[in-house]
Amino acid sequence: MDTINAIKDSMLGIWEFIKNPEQLTTILGSIIKAITILVVAKISIKLIQKAIDVFFESQAKLKYKVDIPRVETMKGLMKSIIKYTIYFIAVTAIFRSFGTDVTALITAAGIGGLAFGFGAQNLVRDVITGFFILFEDQFGVGDYVEIDGTGGIVEEMALRVTKIRDFNGDLNTIPNGEIKKVTNRSMGNMRAWVNISIAYEEDIDNAIAVLQEACRILKEENDTIVEGPTVLGVTNLGDSDVVLSIIAKTTSMQQWSTERKMRKAFKEAFDKAGIEIPYPRRYLISEEKNAGQAT
């Protein structure tokens, strides 16, 4: 009976609410206003983020030298800050539309946030570390880095996490607070190193001269090479080969393509000069032939 009476009381309360058009209109108006605020917030975020894209693209096209990775990093962080700020304003406006005392709510949120902060130290640490990474210019979007054993290209930097795409295509998300050691392989000129072998029977001085001429041509044809290539000379004596090493310095991220060009150019130069690059060979000895000769 108690349950039935409770249901009746609830139904009567709902009926009384429906019969009061002024109160119903107020609630529906608040709901519509809240939906409108969310829609406006969403549109505002998209428009402002689009404006940020246009602004940074215009900066990149200026004739002045611009640090592209740093620009991309700043753009991502600004978008993140704008999004969280607009959503906070929208939520505050929605509470106000329902008649909630926003000042008291913010005060309560501050007290609760203080208590929550002790349990969210990792989150705070991630955000603070993210700001230090940005302002100290440790790395930026587009840089080739290695972070605590994870290597790849920085694809996105946000307030809390850094996203790295490795060369297998996997996307690694690393909380900024867990970043202990960063190796940035995109700062300054990079080294291109190539080893090439010749047979022991070849003239070493002649091989070095051929390589030096090939290096000169490579330098003239490639703007990405900033120093060298330089023939270092004999760096190893193998079981069946003499190893010659060549080094060059290239612009950032161009070391691998330069090494491929160097190998191709050196192989073609050796072929043209008739210099042999040793490779494993297998000799077959026929027992029948040896037996016939013995007789």
> Per-residue pLDDT tens for 85-128?
788 778 877 777 766 665 655 555 554 454 445 445 666 677 77
Residue type, 204: I
Asked whether residue 295 is domain-assigned, the answer is no
Residue 294 within a domain: no
Rank 8-17, 55-64, 73-82, 115-124 by mean pLDDT and report only the highest.
Answer: 73-82
Sorted by sequence, the CB contacts under 8 Å of residue 205 that are 6+ apart come out as none
Q: Give me the CATH number covering residue 156.
A: 2.30.30.60
Residue 146 one-letter amino acid? E
Last residue of a domain, one of 99, 119, 139: 119
197 shares a domain with 171: no
In what order do the strands lie in the sheet containing 171-175?
171-175, 161-165, 150-157, 144-147, 182-184
Q: Helices in 222-254 by DSSP H: which ranges?
A: none
**The two three-digit tokens of residue 88, written as one number:** 């906070």
Q: Judge whether 157 and 165 are in contact, CB under 8 Å.
A: no
Q: How many domains does the chain have?
A: 3
pLDDT at 295: 43
Q: Which of 94, 119, 144 is the last residue of a domain?
A: 119
**pLDDT tens sequence across 18-37:** 555 665 566 666 778 778 87
* Residue 227 contacts residue 279 (beta carbons within 8 Å): no
Residue 291 domain-assigned?
no
Residue pair 153/164 in contact (Cβ under 8 Å)? The answer is yes
Residues 180 and 194 in one domain: no
Q: Domain limits at 214?
A: 190-273
Residue 144 near residue 153, CB atoms below 8 Å: yes
What's the whole-number mean pLDDT along residues 202-221?
A: 90
Per-residue pLDDT reduced to its tens digit, 166-187: 888 888 888 888 888 888 877 7
* pLDDT computed for residue 115 by the predictor: 46
